[in-house]
Structure 1
């Protein structure tokens, strides 16, 4: 029978490994219908120790039927380390109430070229649109 002193270090090691957080968080915070467009508001948080001078994500937007409605680039601009930024994008020809999913297809640009940009994003949504990577 294993003793507690032998098990405890293993549990602590496993818990520490599981605690790895994604360095960049992206939340779809709001959708606002505009004349012939949908305004998408994002909250981005850079939890890394690296200032990002520019981060551009390739995004695919799907309609309620699951078809691709738009393919666009989300230029999040600068994301300083340990700071939050709010960014807004208007997608022409897209009705907000017909949007079902947003897929972050990949990183189109990252400056400086950093390991931070190779890590998965932590994605969230405060609206009834699924956000995935």
Structure 2
């Protein structure tokens, strides 16, 4: 069978980049203070979680891992309630939770973080296509 002609323009191509193969950038609110640990190898690792809002009612919690100097910096400066920008890469851990049962957990290994300046949320007015409802939503 013949495919119908596209109704939209094809997105532009970008050059291949190793940095883009696995890159994540998020802004969120820190859910707990960052916990720092020293491994037997001498490496420092810190963990925390941020809440990333899609809307006023939808939140995704993302686990963060910081390593070495960045781990120490995060543990000293990042506190619960801070709004931060993180960039890094997505990794997974598989945990055996019983016979023939595995659970996969995802986290972002942070390569850079910054604090977000204070701001007032912006109210956006939009008309929903579903049922003609008009609604306000907050843009964080």
Q: Which TM-score applies when normalising by structure 1?
A: 0.30
1 or 2, which has the higher helix percentage?
Answer: 1
- TM-score after normalising by structure 2: 0.29
Higher relative contact order (CA 8 A, sep 6+): 1
